[in-house]
Structure 1
Amino acid sequence: MTIHTVPDPKGAPVPPVARPAEPAHIITSEAEAIEIAQRLAADFAKGASERDLNRIWPQAELDAFSQSGLWAIGVPKEYGGLDASWVTINRVIAIISEADPSLGQIPQNHLGVVAAIRTVSDPDQKDLLFAEVLKGTRFGNAFSEFGSKRAADFETTFTDQGDHVVVNGRKFYASGALLAHLVPIVALDDEGRAFYAIADRGAEGLSVIDDWSSFGQRTTLSGTVTLDNVRVPKTHVVPGYKGYAEPSADGAIFQIIQAAVDLGIARAAIRDTIDFVKNRSRAWVDSGVDHASEDPYTIQAIGDLTIRANAAEALLDRAGLAVDAAVAAPDETSVAKAQIATAEAKVLTTEIAIQATNKLFELAGTRATLAEHNLDRHWRNARTHTLHDPVRWKYAIVGNYYLNGINPPLHAWS
């Protein structure tokens, strides 16, 4: 189904979607995960420009993505999952993001919540929630709030009502929530501790409003979530705060997925730059060559972009290994190493995403700016997505770690 929308400033709630009729595929190897991601990406790329240009929700693509089993590859083996490495998960996200970075971003919080359940939930809760994930249930998110002074300040709260809790609040930047099946809500208890209250998307009092109006990442299915006495069974209330009370990989995991999205955006820009220069751009008048692809300055620039993208990819793989080590044996040292390696990858993926999407127009020429090509979507996506968790603070925590021996703070933004 094609859904062509414009943001709704009047705030009409969007109805929930049905759960999948059939269970999702179960992926049995990391090689299979990469193969499936590559196959899906080839399909997703075909309509990515049109979806961006006309703000068409990727409903069919999202169903194919979650039903493929890729959203469940982080589930531990003892609960029926693949327990894929974070090197592989990052590669999957980068592959999908090169095809369509909105689709690459949508599962970010789903994967983060799956990791948090692994860290903080008791065995019964893991059995229950991981079974949902393996069936193909999609988690959205209702984490961030629009008017707070800092990202970690929350006004959404819940009250204990025996076998369930009641949640009240308002959220924004709720990527994936429009077409989610379950919506994890960050809400505070009466002691100020943050939990994930995982509500049914169709729960009474939970409304998702399609008012996301950013110029980039236009089809991440984000918007405002309002919570008016939403009931959530205690079986679905996850003590997320425990993931930051002691060292865990949870914060680095939320961050590293963002870096994988940015790498995918950079790769897409470099790919389209090469295609345009080879097939559409004209050689410069003073170059003395017949084809733009023979221009020595263009050749140098493509080499520079490619080297930087490859360096970013290598740092992302390195960070994935560090996260895997922190998941396997979390302590102050392993978690700090994972955070620092992830911050380093975030710096390079941010820089190459911005550089490549800018350089595209310089190298491809004026013709590349024509609306029919919609190549500005790469810059818009890069500029929008790299605003998650400002990279200037990544330089700061890396410098403080190596210069002064100070570990990064434990939270989801570090």
Structure 2
Amino acid sequence: MAAPQTHDEAVAAAHRLAAQLEPGAIQRDRDGAAVIPHEALAALDDSGLLAITIPAADGGPGLGPRTLAEVIRILAAADPAIAQIPQGHFLMIDVLAVHGTREACKRLYGDVLAGRRLGNGLAERGGKHAQDLKTRIVGGRLDGVKYYTTGALTSSWIGVSALDENDRLVLAFVARHADGVRVDTDWDMVGQRATISGTATFSQVTVDPSLRVSYAEAYAVPQQLGARAQLIHTAIEVGIAGAALRDARDYLRNKARPSSEAVRAGAVAATDDPHVRHRYGRLASRVRAAEALLTSAALTLEEVGLVPADADAAARGSLAVAAAKAFGSEIAVEAGSELFTLCGTSSAAAKYDLDRHWRNARTHSVHDPIDYKYTHIAAYELAGIQPPNHGQL
């Protein structure tokens, strides 16, 4: 399917895809890495949504953060694992837009416009810190082991971070099924199970020089790549929060019984209980606030642009997303837990799989520590200290 050309078209396409994804979300959660969700991923690839951020100059619609955030939020409310699959994909599109060669953009964007997906091979385990990379490119050959490779298993291309012969950080795009590429299904987390973000191993993989990007330069100047990537993570959290609230509402209306205390106070239905109403109203307000912060952050990134004018503009975009991500992560975890307080003992039955909301939120929310986000916001507002110019804020 061709890429949607406007915000409204993209949102409509997201709602159509969400309607396809939601009925199978519980089973995909239960299956985890044991069953690759080929059908759901095919629906994602066929939706046209993978191409919405490709620049107009490269044949795409050039839609921005406002559209992307809303699309991901809608998909995450249906199935946050499938919504997370293209997180690295959209980061790669942004990196190519700013730092990619014309040949790389033509080749990779062409594949994306044809419905193919970009996976990621960025994170590693076992180093002293997250940037302690062991993956190397020497003599045009790539060697290394990556983890948290969301989307790589079923992608067409994988963007792999590595150090080159001069210890400079580069991003190399290699074909998923190239000789020497192996992607495993050893993903075993309590939540976000269907992302299957396990180990990818690269053994003497040939790297096309035209598909190498100087990744060190991406974060050596004021940038919004990190903020835009974090915006997607924010939309996933906010989508999970909305889904938990939706399922709590449905359960309260259709399945929950009033407690004995509520009956003695005159309640006929669970929704008559004043304490249920208070808790639900409080939670609904907080979820709506998280949604508003997500929208506000996306609009700030629209204003700042993919290439910010200066460090102040970059800081403004990063901090707007930091606030939305920190608050949204907290509310997603809260909503996934508060659901059971609202709905009662029977709602914890395994057949409903309502615990997936908390498990998904808890697993995804620790992607990076939110305490630092609040600290950076305070440092900027109280002392004028700009946040660090890296990808995790």
| Pairwise TM-score range, normalised by the shorter structure | over 0.9
User: Are 1:313 and 2:313 an aligned pair?
Assistant: no
Confirm or deny: 8 A CA contact 1:322 1:334 kept in the other structure.
no
Question: Does residue 12 of structure 2 align to residue 32 of structure 1?
Answer: no
Cα distance in 2 between the residues matched to 1:51 and 1:126: 34
Aligned to 1:195: 170
Q: Are the counterparts in 1 of residues 186 and 196 from structure 2 also a CA contact under 8 Å?
A: no
1:255-274 superposed matches below 5 A: 255-274=230-249
Does the residue aligned with 1:153 lie in a helix, a strand or coil? coil
CA displacement, residues 263-319 of structure 1 (integer Å, 9 cap, x when unaligned): 111011001111111111111112220100111111111111111111111111111
Q: CA deviation at 1:329?
A: 5.0
Segments ≥4 residues shifted beyond 3 Å: none
- Give 1:31 shift: 0.8
Q: Secondary structure at the match of 2:350?
A: coil
Contact 1:319 1:341 in 2 (8 A): yes
Residue 359 of structure 1: CA displacement? 0.2
**Secondary structure, aligned partner of 1:133:** helix
Displacement, 1:54?
2.3
Deviation string 1:47-76 (CA, Å, 9 cap, x unpaired) is 100111122322111111122110110001
1:337 and 2:340 equivalent? no
Query: One-letter code of the match for 2:249?
Result: I
1:301 is the counterpart of 2:279: yes
Of 134-143 and 325-334, more deviation after overlay is shown by 325-334
Gaps of 5+ in 2: none
Q: Aligned partners of 2:118, 2:104: CA distance in 1, in Å? A: 15
Q: Deviation per CA, 1:212-240, whole angstroms, max 9, x where unpaired? A: 00010001031101111111211211222
The equivalent residue for 1:356 is: 335
Where 2:203 maps in the other structure, the secondary structure is: strand
TM-score between both structures, scaled by the size of structure 1: 0.91
Which residue is 1:143 aligned to?
A: 122
How far apart are 1:253 and its partner, in Å? 1.1
- Equivalences for 1:180-329 in 2 at 5 Å? 180-287=155-262, 288-327=266-305
Q: Can you list the C-alpha shifts for 1:92-143, whole angstroms capped at 9, x where unaligned?
A: 0000000000001000000011011111123333222222221112111111
For residue 31 of structure 2, what is the amino acid of its counterpart? N
Indicate the structure with greater helix content: 2
Structure 1 unmatched ranges of 5 or more: 1-23
Residue number among 30, 46, 61 corresponding to 1:53 in the alignment: 30
Query: In 1, are the aligned partners of 2:31 and 2:194 still within 8 Å (CA)?
Result: no
Deviation at 1:335, TM superposition (A): 0.7
Give the letter aligned to residue 143 of structure 2.
N
In the alignment, the residues of structure 1 paired with residue 82 and residue 157 of structure 2 have an alpha-carbon distance, to the nearest angstrom, of 18
Structure 2 CA distance, aligned partners of 1:199 and 1:297? 56
Q: Is the 8 A contact 2:225 2:306 kept in 1?
A: no
User: What are the superposed Cα offsets for residues 316-366 of structure 1, whole Å, 9 maximum, x if unpaired?
Assistant: 111112212232551211110000000000011111101100001111101
State the alpha-carbon separation in 2 of the partners of residues 328 and 282 from structure 1: 51
Aligned residue type for 1:361: F
Q: Distance in 1 between matches of 2:133 and 2:375?
A: 25
Identity of aligned residues (%): 38
Contact 2:65 2:298 in 1 (8 A): yes
Equivalence map 1:120-199=2 (5 Å): 120-159=99-138, 161=139, 165-199=140-174
| 347-356 or 324-333, which deviates more | 324-333
Q: For the structure 1 residues 370 and 392, does the alpha-carbon distance in structure 2 shift closer, same or farther, using more than 3 Å as the test?
A: same
